[in-house]
Amino acid sequence: MTPIDVGVLISGRGSNLQAILDAIAADELAAQVRVVISNRPKAAGLQRAAAAGVPTQFIGHRQFPDRESFDGALVEALRAAQVSWVVLAGFMRILTPVFLDAFPNRVVNIHPALLPAFPGVDAQTQALAYGVRVTGCTVHLVNEGVDTGPILAQVAVPVLQDDDHDSLAARILEQEHRLLVETLQRIALAGLTIDQPPESGGRPKVRFGSGP
């Protein structure tokens, strides 16, 4: 089986990136990370990538006049690295069609809530403020909305009585690492098929595997 070629976009800590790198090293994920790109020069994830021998690049969004030209530079770098899948692992920028059309149905994001609940920034604070008893994490394909793309996989995580942001975020993060790796492995092993909704409406549905 041929490993999938992945580019990872980050903005910070990079613990999900680390989970991917560790799973590859342990032969639990049939992938190769071809490049890690950060829009922040000091993102800790850049060191994690370098330590694993993965090429890194800093592409600062402030160097570009608009989102489209920033996205164009990302696409160029990812194409140069010959990636076929892109993973957003804590990447804090919204992507435009310039990017999404270059990798149609090939951009995967990890979000720390059970979408469609609590999209956008600081999903853990949103969950605590709402008072839900269960939250979790979601791996989904990226579309033009904020955390609105087709859902690939989810895991529920309990909210405990004494939770604060950090304790809840840590409990979710543990599951994020597992879910992201598992989902990428399912993609690597089986591929993904997108079923478009009927004309009467609905959302595209994704399933692992190929064919009807």
Q: Footprint of ligand GRF on this chain (CB under 6 A)? A: 10, 12-16, 45, 89-90, 110-112, 173, 176
Measured CA to CA, the distance from residue 51 to residue 49 in angstroms comes to: 5
Burial class of 91 by CB neighbour count within 10 A (0 to 12, 13 to 18, 19+): buried
Q: Give the shortest CB-201-to-ligand GRF separation in angstroms.
A: 29
3-state secondary structure of 154: strand
Q: Give the shortest CB-133-to-ligand GRF separation in angstroms.
A: 20
Measured CA to CA, the distance from residue 7 to residue 17 in angstroms comes to: 10
Query: Which entry of 111, 140, 165, 177 is annotated as an active-site residue?
Result: 111
Measured CA to CA, the distance from residue 111 to residue 160 in angstroms comes to: 20
* 121 vs 194 by CB, closer to ligand GRF: 121
- Quick one: how far is CA 101 from the chain centroid? 17
* 14 vs 149 by CB, closer to ligand GRF: 14
Q: Give the shortest CB-59-to-ligand GRF separation in angstroms.
A: 17
Q: Closest residue to ligand GRF, Cβ-based?
A: 90
Q: Are 56 and 38 in contact (CB under 8 A)?
A: yes
Measured CA to CA, the distance from residue 202 to residue 65 in angstroms comes to: 36
Q: Give the shortest CB-207-to-ligand GRF separation in angstroms.
A: 23
Greatest alpha-carbon pair distance for the chain in Å reads: 51
* 136 vs 211 by CB, closer to ligand GRF: 136
* 49 vs 173 by CB, closer to ligand GRF: 173
Question: Is-catalytic flag, 140?
Answer: no
The residues annotated as belonging to the active site are: 111
